[in-house]
Chain A
Amino acid sequence: MQISDLKARVEAVLFSSDTALSMAKLEQILEVDTQQLRVALQQLQHECHQEGRGVVLQEVAGGFQLRTRPEYAPWVMQLRRTRHMNLSRAATETLAIIAYRQPVTRAEIEGLRGVDSGGIVRTLLEKNLARVAGKKDAPGRPLMYATSAGFLEIFGLNSLEDLPTLRDLKTDELDFTHEVELEMDFESEKRE
């Protein structure tokens, strides 16, 4: 099969899908091998970025999806009635902590933020941005939280590795190897 032909097929399939499609799924639909598919996807992605088009081919949560470009949001929005997810500053802050520290307990989140965060964590769970990722092996067996696949989808990330890196603290500023001890007393006790 010509690669240009395959590329067009990939585009057609992605265009018609309302969800991100994984490599495996695309392979199954298009009946091609991984190598060919990868080349087609790369070319398509490249073209979308090159020619000043309205949509881009994005890799989200382990799949591929055509999405409109952010700069055309004002126009696309007029067509859509969906309300986008509003996140308060506190919610975004909490989400950032969960994203960078996962799996993390509520006590750890509250230690970092200095305020009660139970309600916000619940909201994030309800909005399917966070999920429960088991229980911590610590007194009280508190729940641990992590980000969900929905989080990757909403923020257009393929995996957690795509998160922007947090500003590194200058090494002479502080030794952050003992940061955990500062948040939770019982943890430092355990370690000693």
Chain B
Amino acid sequence: MTAMAYEVKLDQFEGPLDLLLHLVHKNEMDIQDIRIATITAQYLEHLAMMKARNMDVASEFLVMAATLLYLKSRTLLPPSRAELEDEEGQDPEEELKARLLEYQRYKEGAQQLEEYPRLFRDVFPRPPLEPEAEERGAGVLDAQINISVYDLVHALDKVLRPKSDPKVHRVEAGAISITQGVHMLLRHLRGKERVSFQRCFSAATTRLEVVVQFMALLELARLQLLEVQQHTRGGMIYLYPAQSLRKGRYTDIEHMIDVEDYADL
């Protein structure tokens, strides 16, 4: 037996079918005319090699080993009656060949896919110019996409993520009211036609501030002092303050906010 003749990098096999296919090609066999005895012997040697190198042999490899041994035994022994009844015409050897052929097809498909010119590897488009230009096709607005509250929550999640509280030392967190949140938000909005969702939270330093400010945002939207728009799916979310806000007339907002609702915060 050419025991180590087919030594290959062990980790290169994606599974039992991959190994089997490799052995078939190695022995220059046709899948249709597999010599089960030869393949089984080599397959088991390979498993032994994997074990000898303290590699975990995945259970799938063992299942295949059992299948191969079973097929080999079938070639040696006449089938029992129970087996004949069991199989109902389905030859397990044909089944294995079919699986191998099918696997080979997709492997070839994967190779073809691998060779395709791939974006950012072989071909390149124009990169986005600046973060703000993330809004696709700036200037020409798509038909507006209605965004749900989940999109807002998702965007909030993005803002929250980098703001995990620093762990250096603990300082008693001062409570912030929604009203304060509104004021923080207004500072960003004043005099501007629109502000990106991200930018609104740039000054917030703790999770609590972000949360409060987000609630303030929802509150202002509820009062229709603020419009929230997203122009493309997955694009930037923008806040458009109402006329009165833009001009800085917001002294009476505090009265409109239902602070009671958030007393527990």
Contact = CB atoms under 8 A, between A and B. Distances in A.
Interface of A: 15-21, 25, 28-29, 58, 65-70, 73, 76, 80, 82-85, 87, 89-90, 92-93, 95-97, 99-100, 112-116, 153-157, 164, 166-167, 169, 173-174, 176, 179, 182-183
Contact of B109 (A17, A69, A96, A155): A96
A134 B58 CA distance: 30
Given A112-B102, A113-B15, A65 B121 contact: no
Interface residues of B, number: 46
Given A16-B126, A82-B127, A114 B118 contact: no
A17 B114 CA distance: 27
B112 interface: yes
A114 B64 contact: yes
Contacts of B110: 89, 92-93, 95-96
Interface stretch (B128-136, B203-211, B214-222): B128-136
Nearest to B117: A70
Most buried by A among B94, B109, B118, B121: B109
Contact of A28 (B98, B112, B129, B140): B140
Contacts of B127: 18, 80, 82
B122 interface: yes
A174 B119 contact: no
Contact of A82 (B101, B116, B120, B136): B120
A73 B60 contact: no
B123 interface: yes
B106 interface: yes
B14 interface: yes
Contacts of B116: 155-157, 164
A154 B101 contact: no
B150 interface: no
Contacts of B99: 112, 114, 182-183
Interface of B: 12, 14-18, 32, 58, 60, 64, 94-95, 97-99, 101-103, 105-110, 112-114, 116-129, 133, 136-137, 140, 142
27 contacts: A17-B137, A18-B128, A18-B133, A21-B137, A65-B125, A68-B125, A70-B117, A73-B122, A73-B124, A84-B121, A92-B110, A92-B114, A93-B107, A113-B15, A114-B64, A114-B99, A115-B17, A155-B119, A156-B119, A164-B116, A166-B106, A166-B109, A169-B101, A173-B32, A182-B95, A182-B98, A183-B99
Contacts of B121: 73, 84-85
B113 A155 contact: yes
Contacts of B123: 58, 67-70, 73, 156
Contacts of A164: 109, 112-113, 116
B87 to A, nearest CB: 13
B106 A115 contact: no
Given A69-B123, A76-B124, A19 B136 contact: yes
B101 A174 contact: yes
Nearest to A28: B140
A103 to B, nearest CB: 16
Contacts of B118: 84-85, 154-156
A114 B126 contact: no
A99 B113 contact: yes
A73 B104 CA distance: 31
B98 A166 contact: no
A167 B103 contact: no
Given A115-B17, A154-B118, A164-B112, 19 more contacts: A18-B133, A19-B137, A21-B137, A25-B142, A65-B125, A69-B123, A70-B117, A73-B121, A76-B124, A92-B110, A92-B114, A96-B110, A112-B103, A114-B16, A114-B18, A114-B60, A114-B103, A155-B118, A182-B95
Given A29-B140, A173-B32, A182-B99, A156 B117 contact: yes
A80 B103 contact: no
Contacts of B17: 113-115
Given A73-B121, A95-B110, A112-B106, A66 B126 contact: yes
